[in-house]
Amino acid sequence: MTPRRRKFWGWGYEGEGLTAEELALIARLAAARLGLDELRAQNPPDISDIALRRPRVTPPAAIAAFSSAEPWDRAEHTLGKSFHDLVRGLRGEYANPPDLVAYPADENQLTAVLEWASDGRIAAIPFGGGSSVAGGIEPDVGDDYPGAVSVDMRRMGRVLEIDRASRAALIEAGALGPALEDQLRPHGLTLRHFPQSFEVSSLGGWIATRSGGHFATLHTHIDEFVEGLRVVTPRGVVETRRLPGDGAGVSADRFFIGSEGTLGVITRAWMRLQDRPRFRASASVAFASFEDAWRAAREIALSGLWPANCRLLDHDEALLSGSGDGSRSILIVTFESADHDPAPWMARAAEICRSHRGELPEAATSRSGDGAAGLWRSAFIRGGHLHDAYVRLGLVQDTFETAITWDRFPEFHEGVLEATRHAIEEQCGRGLVSCRFAYVYPDGPAPYYTVVAPGRAGAELRQWAAIKEAASDAVLRLGGTITHHHAVGRYHRRWYDRQRPDLFADALRAAKRALDPKGVMNPGVLVDP
Ligand SMILES: Cc1cc2nc3c(=O)[nH]c(=O)nc-3n(C[C@H](O)[C@H](O)[C@H](O)COP(=O)(O)OP(=O)(O)OC[C@H]3O[C@@H](n4cnc5c(N)ncnc54)[C@H](O)[C@@H]3O)c2cc1C
């Protein structure tokens, strides 16, 4: 059977996506919400319309045997999935294609690629699912490099070993979300790490970007599930010891978690697993005031109840996602367990919500994700396709996410909204910026903002860049992080360089030189050699 081919532009696989009716519906809803007459969708690009620069390097036969320089493969590995990527892709602007895409099936092949890259000073870009929204996989490496190879890990995607006693598994880094879960399901186990990009993102990509997954509290990032890992660097292999906890100095695992392909290629990891949950309790609570809603979320985060989901949608976010009518903020709280009925935890969370004027009729908690929670979930799962639709409709649509401590949140939120709204108005005349909390910690939330505004044909990227700059400047100025889970990549470098202490940058550079002396691993990301 021929494997499904991933789209070279847009989200997911060929033949999949929104239907014409769904696209028309989104166009009508977006036009109504933005007060526009009509929105027309542009067709996705065809591969025959894409002119790629000729490959500049030729690999030795041993590497060519598992590599491709076909236009589809090169186009698919040129752009990630941010607004900036999607607009350029739709316009047929593929300025930085890799010269070659290598698909190593094992560490020997991978090592051969990295040695060839190091010897020829060819940029090597690790590639998992290519779902980066931070410019992490684009071979935009400047003229210092005679060529670039995208190192796609899809052929290393197996669950190699399961340790039932410790409830952990050794998993190859190229496993995409669904294939990874398919291999764990027969054992009654799950990694339970479900970023919105789950369908087309990989374990290696999650670890390399410190992705945020299913759990809104406690185990929010993939970091918490890594028990040990193995990385192939241009200097050789680093393998850490798998341990439930470790106090032996600076953590080698943490050193590679979040390294974004700049130090080497993560090839496999021992991951802590979960039993599949059997019990669930969920509620959607409406709040007339956003302030009441976030104060309730804060109290739940401080309570030690640790809900699996504690997602707050502000009025606009509830409206945009179809979970509400825009007159209320909605807090979705869910508890799950493989071991016990979480109803008492749910009852206590409901009590907290009511004490903050949350509207939750008696017995409104449910054991499944129906109601507003269900509506929000289906919009969430279709997120990748929705982004494509917005771009095809000529809208400026972007998301940015951060984290901030509670004491500074009110001022921070107001300042970020004001700066973003001002930029939207200046650039687009009108538009919306909405907010949700994807994660909440005892000491602060991780707010996630979505911008939707009308684009001017041909000027969408300039409009987007000005809004992104205003929002990112405000986030940094007011004390937040440039990213909570979307990674630094190339797009956030400017702000990351300001956020990161200078001496730490020196230390990171020195570490990179030790592992990657020729500076070929993902140049331009995180730190310059
Ligand atoms: C619609 C949509 C929804 C999203 N939702 C979420 C979300 O809920 N949570 C979240 O955290 N992120 C989300 N993202 C962002 C993105 O999916 C994550 O950053 C994800 O972790 C990237 O995984 P990937 O396998 O696609 O990595 P890629 O995009 O292929 O690569 C990302 C970075 O990791 C490096 N890398 C990849 N594999 C390896 C490896 N094996 N070894 C070393 N480096 C490697 C790359 O070089 C690059 O720098 C979303 C993106 C989209 C488009």
Ligand 1 center to 117 CA (angstroms): 23
Q: Whose CA is nearest to atom 14 of ligand 1?
A: 197
Q: Residues 446, 437: contact at Cβ < 8 Å?
A: yes
- What's the CA gap between 179 and 164, in Å, rounded? 20
Q: Is the pLDDT of residue 292 over 90?
A: yes
Looking up tokens 């500074």 gives 408
User: pLDDT digit string (tens) for 421-452?
Assistant: 999 999 999 999 999 999 999 999 999 999 99
Residue 151 in contact with ligand 1 by CB distance below 6 A: no
Conformational region of residue 363, where left means phi above 0, alpha means psi within -120 to 50, and beta covers everything else: left
pLDDT band for position 128 (cuts 50, 70, 90): very high
User: pLDDT digit string (tens) for 469-506?
Assistant: 999 999 999 999 999 999 999 999 999 999 999 999 99
pLDDT band for position 375 (cuts 50, 70, 90): low
Six-digit token string for 319: 């409206």
- What's the CA gap between 491 and 468, in Å, rounded? 10
Which percentage of the chain shows pLDDT scores above 90? 91
Task: Give the pLDDT of residue 310.
Answer: 97
Task: Give the pLDDT of residue 379.
Answer: 67
274 φ, ψ to 5°?
-125, 155
pLDDT band for position 2 (cuts 50, 70, 90): low
Residue 135 in contact with ligand 1 by CB distance below 6 A: no
Task: Give the pLDDT of residue 323.
Answer: 82
- What is the b/e burial string over 48-71, where b = at least 16 CB atoms within 10 angstroms of the residue's CB? eebebeeeebebeeebeebbbbeb
- What's the CA gap between 304 and 294, in Å, rounded? 17
Looking up tokens 């509207």 gives 359
Q: Which residue has the higher pLDDT, 368 or 39?
A: 39
Mean pLDDT, residues 144-158 taken together: 98
Which residues lie across from 121 on neighbouring strands?
A: none
148-152 sheet: strands from edge to edge: 67-68, 100-102, 148-152, 123-127
Q: Is the pLDDT of residue 126 over 60?
A: yes
Residue 208 in contact with ligand 1 by CB distance below 6 A: yes
Task: Give the pLDDT of residue 320.
Answer: 81
Which residues lie across from 435 on neighbouring strands?
A: 449
Mean pLDDT, residues 53-71 taken together: 98
Ligand 1 center to 155 CA (angstroms): 17
User: pLDDT digit string (tens) for 167-181?
Assistant: 999 999 999 999 999
Using CB atoms within 10 Å of the CB of residue 357, give its burial: 0 to 12 exposed, 13 to 18 middle, 19+ buried: middle
- CB half-sphere exposure, 342, CA atoms < 13 A: 27
- To test the ligand 1 pocket, which listed residue (132, 233, 397, 516) has its Cβ within 8 A of the most ligand atoms? 132
Residue 197 in contact with ligand 1 by CB distance below 6 A: yes
Q: Which of 393, 467, 458 is closest to 31 using CA atoms? A: 393
Task: Give the pLDDT of residue 210.
Answer: 98
Ligand 1 center to 299 CA (angstroms): 31
Residue 384 is which amino acid? G
Task: Give the pLDDT of residue 367.
Answer: 57
- To test the ligand 1 pocket, which listed residue (77, 101, 127) has its Cβ within 8 A of the most ligand atoms? 127
Ligand 1 center to 433 CA (angstroms): 24
Helix or strand (DSSP H, E) at 432: strand 432-441
Q: Is the pLDDT of residue 297 over 70?
A: yes
- What's the CA gap between 385 and 86, in Å, rounded? 11
Task: Give the pLDDT of residue 370.
Answer: 54
Task: Give the pLDDT of residue 377.
Answer: 62
User: pLDDT digit string (tens) for 16-53?
Assistant: 999 999 999 999 989 998 999 999 999 999 999 999 99
Which percentage of the chain shows pLDDT scores above 70? 96
Task: Give the pLDDT of residue 363.
Answer: 53
Residue 388 is which amino acid? D
- What's the CA gap between 104 and 101, in Å, rounded? 10
Task: Give the pLDDT of residue 273.
Answer: 98
Q: Which residue has the higher pLDDT, 398 or 365?
A: 398
Which residues lie across from 270 on neighbouring strands?
A: 170, 228
User: pLDDT digit string (tens) for 190-219?
Assistant: 999 999 999 999 999 999 999 999 999 999
Find the helix packing angle between 383-392 and 20-34, rounded to 10°: 70
148 φ, ψ to 5°?
-145, 140
Residue 225 is which amino acid? F
pLDDT band for position 371 (cuts 50, 70, 90): low
Please state, rounded to an integer, the average pLDDT across all residues of the chain: 95
Q: Specify the 3-state DSSP secondary structure of 18.
A: coil
Q: Residues 297, 310: contact at Cβ < 8 Å?
A: yes
User: pLDDT digit string (tens) for 76-123?
Assistant: 999 999 999 999 999 999 999 999 999 999 999 999 999 999 999 999
pLDDT band for position 143 (cuts 50, 70, 90): very high
Helices (H), 95-175: 107-120
